[in-house]
Amino acid sequence: MSTGDVAAAMSNLHADWDLVSGKLHRELKFANFIDAFAFMTSVAIYAEKADHHPEWSNVYNRVVIDLVTHDADGITELDLDLATKIDQLTKDL
């Protein structure tokens, strides 16, 4: 996707998504580790079914996510779909 296409698509995502080093980037904070881990489990189930996996890390109640399609060397619809799913799972944060 072109930079313009990515920027236009990002307008449909939660405002906390940024473009960092060519990747969709979001940092989330949960009430505790259990909530953070439950969220990651939900994303993992969806990601496995979509055969598209995030780059992410978790420390206590924080989850940092980067989305990029390595095979395409950039952001694709797969990343936008996963970001949309993450937005749905975090709508109450």
Which of 16, 22, 20 is CA-nearest to residue 90? 16
Global pTM reads 0.93
> Is the confidence at residue 17, as pLDDT, over 90?
yes
pLDDT, tens only, 37-81 = 999 999 999 999 999 999 999 999 999 999 999 999 999 999 999
Model confidence at 1: pLDDT above 90: no
Count of domains in the chain? 1
In the structure, what pLDDT confidence band is assigned to residue 92 with cuts at 50, 70 and 90? confident
**What is the CATH classification number for the domain harbouring 17?**
3.30.1360.20
In sequence order, what DSSP letters do the residues of 61-75 get, joined into one string?
Answer: TEEEEEE-BGGGTB-
Helix axes 33-50, 77-89, angle to 10 degrees: 150
Which domain does 24 fall in, by range? 3-89
Q: Checking phi first, is residue 42 left (phi over 0); if not, alpha (psi -120 to 50) or beta?
A: alpha
